[in-house]
Structure 1
Amino acid sequence: MEKQNRSGTAGKVIRCKAAVCRNPGEPLVIEEIMVDPPKAWEIRIKILCTSLCHSDVTFWKISIGPFALFPRIFGHEAVGVVESVGEHVEEFQEGDMVVPVFRPNCRECRDCKSQKGNGCSIFGDKLVAEMPRDGTSRFKGMNGETLHHFLSVSSFSEYTVVDVVHVVKISSEFPAEKACLLSCGVSTGIGAAWKVADIEEGSTVAIFGLGAVGLAVAEGARLRGASKIIGVDLNQEKFEIGD
C-alpha cells in the first residue's frame, strides 16, 4: 500500500537550513542545504530539538586521518518527527516522534537480541560518514557539493535522513528538550548504572565527574535503589546539585 504524506514533500528534495562545518576547528555556518528523500530502509526526520555532545567537539577538532571529513553536518543528540519514509519501512510512519541514535540496532542479529551488549554484528560500529547501506550522502550544498554525515545522525540540520537501525520511536508526550538527551548522554549514564555496573539495591555508589553522563549515572543508581550516591567533581557549582 502506498504511504500517504500529508505535507506533500515525500519523494522530493527539501531545502532547509543547517549548521555546516567546512573545516576542522572553524565556526559552524548556518547555510541553506538540500536534503534528499529517504531511500529504502531510511526515514527523513524533521528535527525538533538537538543538543551538543562532547563527541561533536572532539570530531570537530580532528584535522587528519579518516575521521577528518569536511564539509560536514555534526550533531547526534536529537529528537524529531518523521516527515517521510522510504521503501520497506514498516515500523515508522509520518508523524511519529523519534530519537535518532548513533549505535545501530538491526533487531535481528545475535548481538542485537542479546541482553549482554549493544553492538550490532551486521552494521557494526564503524562511525561511518555517510548512510550505512550504500555509503552515500543525503545532504548537498546549494552548489551541489556533497556534505558529509556524522555518526549516522547529523542533527544540526532542520531535516536529516537516518537509517531505521539508528532510530527509536518514543511517546509524542515526551518533552522535546529532554527527549533529545536520550540519544547519547542519558542512555550512556543510565546504561552504565543498569547494564555495566548492574547496581544492586542498597549499594553505595561513587561517581567521578558530574557532567551529563555522570548525572545520568546518578539517576540510574537512584532508580536501582542505591542507598548512598557520592558525586566527585572539581567544579564547585556541582555541589549545588548534590545538596
Structure 2
Amino acid sequence: MRVRAAVLREMGHAGPFAHSKPLSVESLTLSPPGNGEIRVRVLAAGLCHSDLSVINGSRPRPMPMVMGHEATGEVVELGGHVRDFAVGDRVVFSFVPMCGHCLPCASGRPVLCEPGAAANAQGQLLESASHWTDDSGQPLLHHLGVSGFAEYTVVSARSAVRIDADLPAEIAALFGCAVMTGVGAVINTARVQSGESVAVFGLGGVGLSALLGAHAASAWPLIAVDVVEEKLALARRLGASHCINASHGDAVAEIRDITSGGVEHAIESVGSEAVLAQAYAATRRGGTTLTVGLPAPGRMFSVPAVSLVAEERTVKGSYMGSAVPSRDIPRYIDLYRAGRLPVDRLLTHRLKLDDINEGFDRLADGTAIRQIIEFDT
C-alpha cells in the first residue's frame, strides 16, 4: 500500500529545521505484515528528544529511516500466527520489541531484550527486515521498531499493547514513551516511597512525567529544576513543592539547603553528563541518582569513587522506565483516568505531518513539551 511518512535520509542537519528540512514527507510503499507482525493505522504520534537526537546525529542510527517511536493506532491487518490482537484493536507502541525468551526477558527485565535491542540498532523489526521502499526501490529502515511518523506502519506484535478504544489518541500516544519512561523511572526503577525527597532535573515530556509519578507516589519535598521559567511554572501546577531555575544560581546548593543535605532520589532527564553530575552532587548520603537521559555515546560521567562506598551512594540507569509495557501502560492509563496522572497537561501543540520540521524546532529550543502529530481519521 502507499503511505505518507516522514523520512530521515541523513543525520546532522543544522537548525532551524524549518529551513534545513531534515525530515521529508514522502509517499512510500509499505508491504504487508509477515508472521508475528501487524499493520496499524497510526492515529497520533509524539515528538520526542529521542527522535531529535537521531536527527541531529547525537544518537547515530543507520539511514535512511522512517522516524517516530511514540505513537498509537488501530490494527487493520494481522500477519500469520498473530493470536493476541484482532482487527479494530487500539494499541500503543512499545519502542523495544520483546522476544520473551532471552535472559533479560526471562528475568523480568524485558526492556533489555537482546534480540529487540539488536533489531532496533539495525533498523529492523524483530521478525523481519524492512517493510518500507521508496519510489526508486530503495529499502528504508524502521525507527525503534515503530516508524510512527507515518499514516500506516507495520510492527512486530511484540511492539504493541492493547488499550481501550475510548482513550483519545492524542493522550494515548503519550503513554508509549514519555509517560512509560518518566513514571516508570520513579515507580519501577527508583521505587520512590511516600515522604521521600525527589529532585527532577529537566522538565521535558519525560522529566515532567517523572514529576507526575513522584507526585502520585507522595514524594516530599518534590523539587523541579530547569532553565525555562514556563516549564517551572507548569511543574509547580503539577505538584512540585519547589522550583529552581538552574541558570539563576547554584541549583545544587539550593537543593541541599531545602533538604538539609540532599535529596534521596535525584532524576536526570536531560541527556547531559554535566547535568547528571549536578544531580549526583544534589543526592544525599545513602541516596540514589537516576538517569533517564540519553547523551551522545562518547560522553563520559565521573564521580568521586570513594563516595560510592563511604556514603553508600547509588547511580542507576532507567531505560524505558524499567517497564513491562503490557503491565504498565494499562496501569498508568488507569491512574490517568483516576486523575492521579494528568498527563494531558503535557500536551502543548497539535500539528500535521507536513509541519514536523517546525515541530522539532520548538522541541530543540525548549518552547514545547509534548507535540502530537494528528493523522486524519
Q: State the TM-score, normalizing by the size of structure 2.
A: 0.56
Shift of 1:73: 0.9
Question: Do the aligned partners of 2:100 and 2:110 also contact (CA within 8 Å) in 1?
Answer: no
| 1:29 aligned partner | 24
Q: Per the alignment, in what secondary structure is the counterpart of residue 127 of structure 1?
A: helix
2:225 corresponds to which letter in structure 1? V
Shift of 1:96: 0.6
Question: Do the aligned partners of 2:178 and 2:209 also contact (CA within 8 Å) in 1?
Answer: yes
| 1:154 aligned partner | 147
Cα distance change on mapping 1:52 and 1:64 into 2, 3 Å = closer
Q: What do the CA deviations read for 1:205-242 (whole angstroms, capped 9, x no partner)?
A: 11111111111111111222223311111111123211
| Mean Cα deviation higher: 206-215 or 38-47 | 206-215
| 1:215 aligned partner | 208
Q: Does 1:112 find its partner at 2:105? A: yes
Q: Per the alignment, in what secondary structure is the counterpart of residue 18 of structure 1?
A: strand
CA RMSD of aligned residues (A): 2.1
Structure 2: segments with no counterpart, 5+ residues: 14-19, 238-377
Q: Does 1:145 find its partner at 2:138? A: yes
Q: Does 1:203 find its partner at 2:196? A: yes
Q: Does 1:20 find its partner at 2:14? A: no
Out of 47, 63, 78, which is 1:69 matched to?
63
CA distance, structure 1, for counterparts of residue 98 and residue 147 of structure 2: 18
2:76 corresponds to which letter in structure 1? E
Q: Does 1:133 find its partner at 2:120? A: no
| 2:33 aligned partner | 38
Alignment of 1:80-119 (within 5 A): 80-115=73-108, 118-119=111-112
Hey, which bits of structure 1, 4+ residues long, moved more than 6 A?
Answer: none
| 1:240 aligned partner | 233
Q: State the TM-score, normalizing by the size of structure 1.
A: 0.86
Cα distance change on mapping 1:204 and 1:171 into 2, 3 Å = same
Question: Do the aligned partners of 2:96 and 2:116 also contact (CA within 8 Å) in 1?
Answer: no
Shift of 1:141: 1.2
Q: Per the alignment, in what secondary structure is the counterpart of residue 27 of structure 2?
A: strand
Structure 1: segments with no counterpart, 5+ residues: 1-13
Shift of 1:84: 0.4
The structure where helix makes up a greater share of residues is 2
| 1:4 aligned partner | none
Cα distance change on mapping 1:63 and 1:222 into 2, 3 Å = closer
Question: Do the aligned partners of 1:203 and 1:228 also contact (CA within 8 Å) in 2?
Answer: yes
Cα distance change on mapping 1:186 and 1:156 into 2, 3 Å = same
Shift of 1:64: 11
CA distance, structure 2, for counterparts of residue 22 and residue 209 of structure 1: 30
CA distance, structure 2, for counterparts of residue 40 and residue 117 of structure 1: 21
Q: Percent identity?
A: 37
CA distance, structure 2, for counterparts of residue 232 and residue 60 of structure 1: 26
| 2:330 aligned partner | none
CA distance, structure 2, for counterparts of residue 167 and residue 110 of structure 1: 21
Q: Per the alignment, in what secondary structure is the counterpart of residue 123 of structure 1?
A: helix
| 1:5 aligned partner | none
1:183 corresponds to which letter in structure 2? G
Q: What do the CA deviations read for 1:9-68 (whole angstroms, capped 9, x no partner)?
A: xxxxx1121122233225222221111100000001100000111111111233997x24
Larger Rg: 2
| Mean Cα deviation higher: 112-121 or 229-238 | 112-121
Q: How many pairs does the alignment contain?
A: 227
Shift of 1:117: 6.2
| Mean Cα deviation higher: 24-33 or 147-156 | 24-33
Shift of 1:104: 2.1
